A and B are shown apart, each in its own frame.
Chain A
C-alpha cells in the first residue's frame, strides 16, 4: 500500500499544476478562518459574522463541513487529471508493461484519494476546532465533541464525489471533457428533477419526485450535509417574523450516506471494469 501511495504521490508531486492545486485547496480551508473577520458597519447596523453564532459548537461542525465542501471542486480537477493524464501521456500502458497490475493502478489512485480525504477531514476538524475555541459561546467538552457525524458525512461526500471524478477521468480520458461532463451531469440531475416534479405523479401515483431524486448521485451527496443557513438563530428569527418556520431535519441522513456509498462502489467497480476491458 505504501508503494502504491508512493507511486501516485511521485506522479502528483512532480507536476507543478497539481502541486499548486493541492496547496490552494488546503490554504482555502484555512482561509475559512477569515470569515470570522467579516464585520459590516452601516450606521446603526453592526454585523459581525463571527458573532452570529456560526462558530458556536456544535453548529460549527455543520457550517464548516458545508462551506469547505465546496472546495472539493479544486480537488476534482486533480483527481480527474490524475486519471485522464495517464491516458494522454500513454503512461498507463507503460505502467502496466513495467509490471503494475490493473488492480494496483486503480488501488494506487483510490489510496491517494482516501489519503486526501483523510487529510482534508482532519484539516477541517482542526480548523473548525481552533475557530470554535476562539469564538464559540460554549466550550464544554461535551458540546464541542457533539455532532461530529458531520465530519463523517463530509468524508463520505468527498469519497462519493472523487469516485465519480475518477470514473469520469478514466472513462472520458480527457480531463477537460470529463469536468465538462460533470457540469452537464449536474444539470441533467436538475432537469430530471424538474421533469419528475412536473409529471411523475401522473405516471406513478404515490411516488414523489423528491423520493426518486434522493437516489441521484450528486443530489445524494449534497443531501449528506444540508444547508446550514436556515438553522442560524438570526435567520430563524427573521423567518418567524414573516410567519415562516423551517421544519427541517439537518442531521446525518443514513439513507443519503448509503446511497452515496453504493454509487461510489459502482463508480469504482466501473473504473476497474474499464481498465480490464480496454485495449491500450
Chain B
C-alpha cells in the first residue's frame, strides 16, 4: 500500500470565509512534498484538519487507507506545526519522554534523535531556556521519536536565522534520504525547490497544481532577444508563428514559445530572414515565477 494520506473534497469554512475549498490530495510513500501557498492560503488549516485539531466542515480524509483511527495514525507519523509547543518548565529529555508515553514508543530513541538534531548536550536544560532554532530542532526530534513513516512540517524555518534555516534544511534532506516521506508546508519557494520532489500549490484554499517539481519548473522557457532594429525583429518573430506571446521589456523582446524550441534553431530561422541578433538568452522559469503565475491566475470556476 503506497498511499499514506488521501483527502476527498476536504473543506473548512469560517463563517463566510472558505479557508479550504473542496481539496483533494493524495500523498504517496517515498516522496518529499511541498505544500506551497501564500500566507492565508489554507496550508495550516489543511494540516490542522488531517492532524485532528481542526474539525472539517465538509469532505473527508483517510490515513493509511482508513485502517486506523486518526489518533492511532498520529502516533505513527511525526508532525510539527507553526511553532514548537512543549512544556516550558520541563527539560528536553522530560518533554521527549512524555511524547514517547503519548506515542507509546520506547524511550531508547530519545537519545538517538536528540543527537541527530544536536541537542544531546543540552538535554537537561529546560525548554524555556532554548533559542528558537533549538526549539524548532527539538520539535523535529520529537516528531521523529517514533521513527515515523511520514513527517509533516509546517513552516519549519519560520523566524530562524540563516544558520538555523540551513540546519533545518540539512536535517530535512537527511531525513528524506532515509526514505521518510515528508510533507513540507511553506511559502518559501527556494526552500521547496531545494528539498521537494513534488509540489501542491494552494491559493485561497483551492488547489492550483499538484505534481512533480520539475514538471512545474520545466515549461518551455522563454527567449530574451535583442537586435539593432527591434521592430524588424518583432515582425519576423510574428511571422514565424512559433510563439504564444511576445513582450517588449527594457529594449528587449521576451518571446514565449508554444512548443519546445532550441535556441540555435531560432537563431537559424531569424538569420534566414536577415535578422541578426545582438542578444539571445534562453531562460527557464524559476519556481518563483511559475508560482506567481499560478497564484495570480484568476480563480477557475
Which residues in A have some Cβ–Cβ distance to B below 8 Å?
A: 3, 6-7, 10-11, 14-16, 89-91, 93-102, 104, 276-277, 279-280
Task: Answer whether A279 and B54 are a contact pair too, CB < 8 Å, given A10-B98, A97-B74, A101-B69.
Answer: yes
Q: In which size bucket is the chain B interface?
A: 20 to 34
A14–B89 CB distance below 8 A: yes
Q: List 23 A-B contacts (CB under 8 A).
A: A3-B101, A3-B104, A7-B98, A7-B102, A14-B90, A14-B94, A96-B53, A96-B71, A97-B51, A97-B53, A97-B74, A97-B79, A97-B81, A98-B102, A98-B103, A99-B71, A99-B104, A101-B52, A101-B69, A101-B71, A279-B53, A279-B55, A280-B54
Q: Across the interface, which residues of A come within 8 angstroms of B273, CB to CB?
A: none
B87–A14 CB distance below 8 A: yes
Q: Across the interface, which residues of A come within 8 angstroms of B164, CB to CB?
A: none
User: A99's contact among B48, B54, B102, by CB below 8 Å, is which?
Assistant: B102
Q: Across the interface, which residues of B come within 8 angstroms of A280, CB to CB?
A: 48, 53-54
Residue of B nearest to A95 (CB): B102
Q: How far is the CA of A89 from the CA of B69 in the complex (A)?
A: 26
Q: Across the interface, which residues of A come within 8 angstroms of B83, CB to CB?
A: 90
Scan residues 53-109 of chain B and give those whose CB is less than 8 A from a CB of chain A: 53-55, 69-76, 79, 81, 83, 85-90, 94, 97-99, 101-104
Q: Across the interface, which residues of B come within 8 angstroms of A90, CB to CB?
A: 83, 85
Q: How far is the CA of A90 from the CA of B70 in the complex (A)?
A: 20
Q: Across the interface, which residues of A come within 8 angstroms of B103, CB to CB?
A: 98-99
Task: Answer whether A89 and B99 are a contact pair too, CB < 8 Å, given A96-B52, A279-B53.
Answer: no
A89–B88 CB distance below 8 A: yes
Which residues in B have some Cβ–Cβ distance to A below 8 Å?
A: 48, 51-55, 69-76, 79, 81, 83, 85-90, 94, 97-99, 101-104, 142
User: B86's contact among A94, A277, A279, by CB below 8 Å, is which?
Assistant: A94
Give the tally of cross-chain contacts (CB within 8 A).
Answer: 79
B48–A279 CB distance below 8 A: yes
User: A16's contact among B73, B87, B89, by CB below 8 Å, is which?
Assistant: B89
User: A100's contact among B55, B73, B85, B102, by CB below 8 Å, is which?
Assistant: B102
Q: Across the interface, which residues of B come within 8 angstroms of A98, CB to CB?
A: 74-75, 99, 102-103, 142
User: B85's contact among A3, A91, A102, by CB below 8 Å, is which?
Assistant: A91
A7–B101 CB distance below 8 A: yes
Residue of A nearest to B53 (CB): A280
Closest 9 CB pairs of A and B: A99-B75, A99-B74, A101-B71, A94-B85, A90-B85, A280-B53, A279-B54, A98-B102, A14-B90
B205 to chain A minimum Cβ distance, whole angstroms, is: 15
Q: Across the interface, which residues of A come within 8 angstroms of B98, CB to CB?
A: 7, 10-11
Q: How far is the CA of A93 from the CA of B73 in the complex (A)?
A: 16
Q: How far is the CA of A93 from the CA of B101 in the complex (A)?
A: 16
Other than the known A97-B74, A277-B55, what 17 A-B pairs have Cβ atoms closer than 8 Å?
Answer: A3-B101, A3-B104, A10-B97, A10-B98, A14-B89, A14-B90, A89-B86, A89-B88, A91-B86, A94-B81, A97-B81, A98-B99, A98-B102, A99-B72, A99-B73, A99-B102, A279-B53
B87–A100 CB distance below 8 A: no
Q: Across the interface, which residues of B come within 8 angstroms of A102, CB to CB?
A: 52
B81 to chain A minimum Cβ distance, whole angstroms, is: 7
Max count, chain B CB within 10 A of own CB: residue among A6, A96, A98: A98
Q: How far is the CA of A99 from the CA of B86 in the complex (A)?
A: 15
B164 to chain A minimum Cβ distance, whole angstroms, is: 20
A280 to chain B minimum Cβ distance, whole angstroms, is: 4
B150 to chain A minimum Cβ distance, whole angstroms, is: 13
Q: How far is the CA of A100 from the CA of B54 in the complex (A)?
A: 14
Q: Across the interface, which residues of B come within 8 angstroms of A11, CB to CB?
A: 87, 98
